Amino acid sequence: MTSIVFYSRTDDPAPWREIFARELPHLAFRVDPDIGDPAEVHYTLVWKPPAGWHGQFPHLRAILSLGAGVDALLTDASLPSHVPVVRLLDGGLGRQMAEYAAYGVLHFHRRMHEYAARQRTGTWEMLEPRSTESCVVGVMGLGVLGVQAVRLIDALGFPVIGWSRTPKDLGAVETFSGAPGLDAFLARTRVLVNFLPLTPQTSGILDRRLFARLPRGSYLVNVARGGHLVEPDLLAALDDGQIDGALLDVFGSEPLPPDHPFWQHPKIVVTPHVAGVTLADEAAAQIIANVRRLENGEAPVGIVDRAAGY
Ligand code: NAP
Ligand code: GLV
């Protein structure tokens, strides 16, 4: 019997098992480490399997990602090159991520980080309010998820600008692209929101040189990947006031180690990689449709461009 194997240490397989049993009853749904006969495995449904894990399936037809970002899969040099990697396109993540980004913008714009510090010392002090128009939000990465954040933040009345690899037309939202557009984009940005995929080109992009190109006292919201951020550079930029606060959902090492300086830093808010969580109810329809396409000999939707890395 043909099978699909589920691997994730953070997602519950139970709802997926139920949906697959209902929608594709001819496929055996297996959960690692109970993989059955590896020769029967045609599909995997995965989040961060260990390097080399896919090598055990000789008849694999597709690797289906439980997430939107596939950097952890693509850095596995042993991933079979002939098998398509298919990622999640929104699947409910867009709305969650947009909410998180909008929350970050409001948090810093309304100086909640500064009021939180005053609350800890019982200090009643009104800080100077700032106009919404003066708070330009710059979104890096205008793909499936970044665009939804742009739309929500725009709807809240903030001036929004965006930056991507190739030029984009987002109507009234001003956009910039590529290395030549980065300076102008950063010079205008007050709250920088990162929605980039982690690729060799974007790794470490949030570094000292980039922070220096932002207006003094800017804010950072990183919802993309920890590998984008050079952590010591952020600490230095916070210490000297170039960056005035950061909301971070993703980290170079996850879980964030208990002794990491980010935990106690007064200008950093940490969340445990929850900006966008894959929910079976919202994401399964897309994955089921892709398996049906594959079973009919059609191409799935959301195939990753391995050369581009996203
Ligand atoms: P996507 O649709 O592939 O969009 C990626 C965007 O980044 C595109 O606009 C792309 O430009 C741009 N880009 C890529 N390389 C670039 C470069 N070198 N310079 C400038 N722009 C570049 O990705 P998505 O579905 O929106 O997802 C974005 C990321 O969010 C994922 O990769 C993942 O890391 C992260 N994520 C995080 C969570 C969480 O819970 N924290 C949840 C889901 C996703 P073009 O449009 O020109 O190609
Ligand atoms: C989560 O980080 C995802 O990429 O879906």
Across 231-263, b (16+ Cβ under 10 Å) vs e yields bebbbebbeeebbbbbbbbbbeeeebeeebebe
Ligand 2 pocket, 223 CB below 6 A?
Answer: no
Catalytic residue chosen out of the listed positions 265, 273, 293, 306: 273
pLDDT at 201: 98
CATH topology for the 3-91+278-295 domain:
Rossmann fold (3.40.50)
Which run of H or E residues covers position 74? helix 71-74
pLDDT at 152: 98
Atom in ligand 1 nearest the alpha carbon of residue 250: 41
Across 179-206, b (16+ Cβ under 10 Å) vs e yields eebbeebbebbbbbbbbbbbbeebbebb
Query: What gap in Å lies between CA 161 and CA 154, rounded to an integer?
Result: 9
pLDDT at 274: 98
Query: What gap in Å lies between CA 88 and CA 92, rounded to an integer?
Result: 9
93-270 CATH choice from 3.40.640.10, 3.40.50.720, 3.40.50.150, 3.20.10.10: 3.40.50.720
Report yes or no: 207 and 230 within 8 Å, Cβ to Cβ.
yes
93-270 and 3-91+278-295 share a CATH fold: yes
**Band (34; pLDDT cuts 50, 70, 90):** very high
pLDDT at 72: 96
Which run of H or E residues covers position 182? helix 178-188
Break the chain into its structural domains and give their ranges: 3-91+278-295, 93-270
Whole-model pTM: value is 0.98
Which residue has tokens 């090492």?
253
Virtual CA dihedral for 54, 58, 64, 69, nearest 10 degrees? 30
Share of residues in the chain with pLDDT > 90 (%): 100
Report yes or no: 165 and 177 within 8 Å, Cβ to Cβ.
yes
Averaged over 86-99, what is the pLDDT? 98
User: What's the pLDDT tens digit per position in 7-26?
Assistant: 999 999 999 999 999 999 99
- Ligand 1 centroid to 215 CA: how many Å? 24
Share of residues in the chain with pLDDT > 70 (%): 100
Contacts (Cβ under 8 Å, ≥6 apart) of 22: none
Query: What gap in Å lies between CA 284 and CA 13, rounded to an integer?
Result: 12
With the most atoms of ligand 2 within 8 angstroms of its CB, the residue from 74, 85, 93 to mutate is 93
pLDDT at 288: 98
Question: What is the number of the ligand closest to the CA of 279?
Answer: 2
273 is catalytic: yes
pLDDT at 31: 98
260 is catalytic: no
